[in-house]
Structure formats: C-alpha cells, structure tokens
Structure 1
C-alpha cells in the first residue's frame, strides 16, 4: 500500500506543482499585468481556467499526501509541510524531493538495486 500511495503522491505532486507554477507565474501576470485587451491579456484570461484544475487536483493531492504521511508515521510538522506545499509556487518540487528521500531512507526495499 505504501508503494502505491508513494507513486500516486509523486504524480500528483508533479501535476499540482506544474499547474500552480503555470497559473501563478504565467496566467495571473498576463491577465493582470499586461495591457487591457491585448492578446497576452486575453491569453492570461483564458489560461486562468487552470486555477480550477489546480484546485480540484490539489484536493486529491491533500488526501493522498495525508494518507501517505499517516501510513509512514511522519511527524505532524512534516505532514503539514507536505499539505501546504501545493499552495506555494515551486515549493512542492522541493518537498516532493524530500518526501522521496525520506520514503527511500525509511524503506530500503523500495530502492531499486543498481545494475552491476
């Protein structure tokens, strides 16, 4: 069960991270910081629908991250960091890396042996 949760977590973290980065660093600035009526502003307006997708996928991410943290018996602080990471652009990529290190350190059987 831990392996499945871990794999689903990694995929969701990547998707949530990419969506949040796109929305916060591309769509929002184009929508609000470009000339009204310009093609860039219109693109930013259209691309803002991605916030909706981020929100729905983030809710699934929160559930999976919580289940993974509870199954692995991680601290409340680390669990909260995992949950909040999807709200701060680019932070989720660092947190996902830390989660991967932690899972592999605590579960050596999950680490694939290197080919000789």
Structure 2
C-alpha cells in the first residue's frame, strides 16, 4: 500500500472495494494512509531504506460505508478512524443527465478523464 500511496503523492488515490479488505486491516490501512509516511525498513544489503512519504487524498469508492467496515471488527470505533475516512453517501439517480450516452458509459468517461489528470 505504501508504494501505491507514494505513487499518488500530491494527488488523489482512489481505492475500490473496501469489502475485500478485512475490518481489522481496513482500520490499519486508513491510519497508514493518513499518516503520510511508510515504515523504515532494510534493503537487500541490510542498509536502511529511506521511508516513502506522500501527501495524498484518498477515497474509497466501495459499496460499504467506512463506518460499517469499522464496526465489523467488533471493537469500538475510534474517533481518529472516522476523522480520517469520511463517508459520503451517493444514491441512485445522482447523475440525472448523462448527456446523450448511457449512465455507465458516462461514468466511465469521467473515470478515464480523472485518471488522465495525474
């Protein structure tokens, strides 16, 4: 995840399908991404490898809200988790005008245009 975050430095990292991540790991990933710095480790020569760093916004576009994912762990939700990962509900019909194309095609065009902005 560190490499992915560093590759999106000063940009937007869009994560898909939080549902495939375990609840315990999800909380840790949120803290790690929001921390902006990876772990210091050794390289193959046993010398210290410089920690990766990033300044990124991240967004999960899965169907499962972050709060629900945190609750799956069975532990109380930490305020820090909720502050670092906000839920923004998007309901059916949010795109009312797909400008003469199918809504699916329209959304795919938006996604493609956003990925070209990096």
The TM-score, its normalising length taken from structure 1, stands at: 0.27
> In proportion to residue count, which structure has more strand?
2
Higher helix residue share:
1
Higher relative contact order (CA 8 A, sep 6+): 1
TM score, norm. by length of structure 2: 0.27
